[in-house]
Chain A
Amino acid sequence: MAALPASQFALVATVGTSFRSILIYALSATVALIVVHWLARAAAPRAQRADRQPWTAWERLVYAGVLSAVGVLAASAFGAIGKGETMSGWPLMLHMVGAGVFTVALPALAVTWSAVHLRANRVANGARFSLLARAMFWALLLSGLAVMGTMLVSMLPWLGTHELEEMLDAHRFAGLAVVIVLLLHAYAVLTGRRR
């Protein structure tokens, strides 16, 4: 097919290609950052472990829900993007299932964990979460809101093709932000200790 100069179709291809590069670099950088931090932390003298409240079953369930939903969403989306394809068929359906879980799990996470992330310094025996975890929690809510909003608005008969393309692009970047933030949050939470 002959190229349509500067049309939205060309835009899709351009954005798709550049996003794939950004995706690879961003995820690699995040993983590298985590590994470097973990190595540096392992080499440093161990600080005394702070006493922290244990997680309740509900907190575990909610967090597992968010993790699994984002995992499914990322795998279904990034797989297609990595192959340079548009997501469709079974991967798209899987993505929708993940989106359903995410839509329920994220507000549950927000309601369940917001208080402790706000009042971290006031909990007896110190904060439950590190500064990184707290920052990533709020970033997760923000990027999660963006990722939901970009898709939900796209599902309404409001925007035209070009705007939908831009919204899809925004959805991709918001989704990438969710993944990166959640990776950092999970790392901070799982290894969470203050020195």
Chain B
Amino acid sequence: MAFSIVSVATPTFRQHPAQSRRERKAVDGDKGELGPGSGDLIMRFSTLIVFTSLLLAANGSSAAERSRFAETGSRSQYVHWIELYDANFNEIDPAAEHPAPYSPRKTCGRCHDYDTIACGYHFNARADDAAHGRPGEPWIWNDPRTATQLPLSYRGWAGTYDPRRLDISAWDFALKFGRHLPGGVEPAASSAPLAAAEGAPPEPATPGNWTRSGALEIDCMICHAAESGYSMEAWAHQIDEENFAWAPTAGLGIGSVTGAVADLDDDGAGEGPQVTYHDLKRNGEGKVFFNVVRQPRNDTCYYCHSNRTLGGPQAAWNHDEDIHLRAGMQCADCHRNGIGHHTVRGFAGEQHASGEAVVTLSCRGCHLGEEQGGRLGAPQPLHAGLPPLHLEKLSCTACHSGPLPGDQALPLQTALAHGLGLPSHDYTAELPPELVAPVFLRDGETLFPHRMMWPSFWGAQRGETIVPAHPEAVYDALRRTFRVRRGKTLKETLLEIRLGRDDKTELLGEERAGADEDEWTEEEQARVAAWVEKKALADFQEKLPEAFEALAEVVGPGEAKPVFVAGGKVYRLDSEGHVETFAHAAAEPYAWKLAHDVRPARASLGAGGCFDCHAEGAPIFAGKVATPSPVPSEESAVVAMQELAGYDKTKLDAWNQSFQGRAAFKWLGFASMGVVGFVLLSGAVWGFLTVTGVARRKD
């Protein structure tokens, strides 16, 4: 349980927090009895200074930190009547003519250790010395105009690209992904706790428009606002307007913001953002009431951590969501943190940054741990009849989490990748980037369900290495080649082919060539679609040399060779100028483990018996994963999950076959035991009779 930390009026001498004013006064009175100016007082004061100095020297800086931030020590919620401060630490008068936007760093940071919080897991991606843990969902730079789907992460996860290495500045990153960031993207100078470690990628040369936009500070109220008062839409809108410093004010809804940094001229001329504070709830001291909750609500987490599977057997409204939430739990019950904001991720083997043991906040630790498990009343599963080997070979999530596996991994949309949570008319199944789930892959010998994406980007090949180019630079270079219209993807543009009369005649015959498209039969539609795809592919391949030529200016001169990565392969021009494709690690999919939604026990894999998995065609092994391509492609590679997981198909088939005779084997086994038992019993009876002499007398 985290306790809130509040500032206290810094007393000269340490006071017991429960002391009443009268008690404190009495103590002061006692001191007064010594008499001002007395030698005894001087002696005592000198002794105190020496003692305090020694104490500070012994405790180092921790003593100083403790003196600045105090705790309530209570489980009750501290009521926040506070002053608002701007980024320059000036107290804001909301009624002033042009008040500044409030700064969470200066307002909340007066009492809460902002620098410590900034090292928490939601904010420390750029800290190279932080423990980043197992790979998670990347930020996907999605640009449909150039078919770019680029997995980015500052955390160094294999398969992702560090934005700094692609010349994507923190400012660019904030502008692109700030919609689903809780803040914490600031110019390097103001984010000292996240100073880059030695050997870390340097910040890009063009740092961005920080001086006008202000810092995108960590906005505490995104997670800690009570009720549903915080508007992430308003937050995202201000970021889109480049009004980073104004986003917390607009998001919390305590003020309206007009004007935009994005509308300013290069020389800064124009109407910049202005705040008008609303009727705030203020007390007699002029302090503002902030309705704060200590533990973030599920709804808050869902804004960034929502996902939805498309094409599944259940409509979204008919889905039960995670069983833990249905049981009344909160996300933060397991994914909890202290003031350090190192939010527990909850995977097995997690090493918490605080050094605190968090094993009982993982599935196994909570549900199977015998001594410390069972937190919050977690039931211990019986797993009746499930050979214990399964608990070594399968993660808990393999059977219990994510969409129930089917014949094929399903398309998936997430808040981070698709912007779920913001109102749009474009959340169609075709909305890029293309993600799929569940895909079962092994980590060591253990099988885990994953979400997966295939990177797609334009870049340069230097020797054996392929590095993406800055997506904006790519767009600038390629827009004349592909001429993608606003709101369209590159693939859609390439597939926009108008059939001429001759084409229709060739495809449909003379008689049907004049028929309206609405009158085409399904077979005719399929024939035309196949022709269009073929033509689009030819067009794409025809334009690729031109695109590579334009891209050469982006990737620079020298040995670098322009390439395009998509659909699990790499395109480039061979020495004769023809397009060729080849396999490369850069084209391989990036996958990250999924943990939610957890399904109830009766909906888990294996609840239906061994044949849920140990049968020919069982989805967990035989489910298909299609490689999507954001450009026309000759073929879409379809791979079985067992292949992706690295299983031996012969062994799996043999194993499945062995299960066909499992029921018969049980019957045979018990019959065999019956026979052996009968013989043993007979022998025992005979032996007993022999020993007691009964048999001999009978003879």
Contact = CB atoms under 8 A, between A and B. Distances in A.
B89 interface: no
A4 B683 CA distance: 47
Nearest to A144: B676
Interface stretch (B233-241, B389-397, B456-464, B550-558): B389-397
Contact of B387 (A104, A110, A118, A154): A154
B679 to A, nearest CB: 4
Interface string B214-256: 0000000000000000000000000000000000000000000
A157 interface: yes
Nearest to A11: B370
Nearest to B350: A2
Nearest to B679: A110
Contacts of A149: 673
Given A89-B651, A141-B680, A111 B384 contact: no
Nearest to A160: B382
B382 A161 contact: yes
Given A7-B369, A96-B658, A152 B673 contact: yes
Interface in B647-685: 651, 654-655, 658, 662, 665-666, 668-673, 675-677, 679-680, 682-683
Most chain B CB within 10 A, of A6, A86, A107, A118, is at: A107
A84 interface: no
A161 B658 contact: no
B368 A8 contact: yes
Interface residues of A, number: 46
B682 A8 contact: no
A159 B349 CA distance: 28
Contacts of B11: none
A9 interface: yes
Most chain A CB within 10 A, of B655, B665, B666, B672, is at: B672
Contacts of A5: 369, 371-372
Given A7-B368, A86-B389, A106 B672 contact: yes
Dominant secondary structure at the B interface: helix
A161 B386 contact: yes
Nearest to A112: B679
B8 to A, nearest CB: 37
B382 A6 contact: no
B328 to A, nearest CB: 25
A103 B391 CA distance: 27
B348 interface: yes
A88 interface: yes
Interface string A114-151: 10011000000000000000000010011011001101
A161 B680 CA distance: 31
B359 interface: yes
B384 A107 contact: no
A32 B230 CA distance: 78
A126 B369 CA distance: 61
Contact of B668 (A1, A103, A160, A164): A103
Contacts of B686: 118
Contacts of B389: 86-88
Nearest to A161: B383
Contact of B670 (A7, A8, A152, A154): A152
A145 B357 contact: no
B388 interface: yes
Given A88-B389, A93-B655, A141-B676, 11 more contacts: A4-B368, A7-B371, A9-B364, A103-B665, A106-B676, A118-B683, A152-B669, A154-B385, A158-B385, A161-B388, A164-B385
Interface of A: 1-2, 4-9, 12, 86-90, 93, 96, 100, 103-104, 106-107, 110-111, 114, 117-118, 138, 141-142, 144-145, 148-149, 151-152, 154-161, 164-165, 168
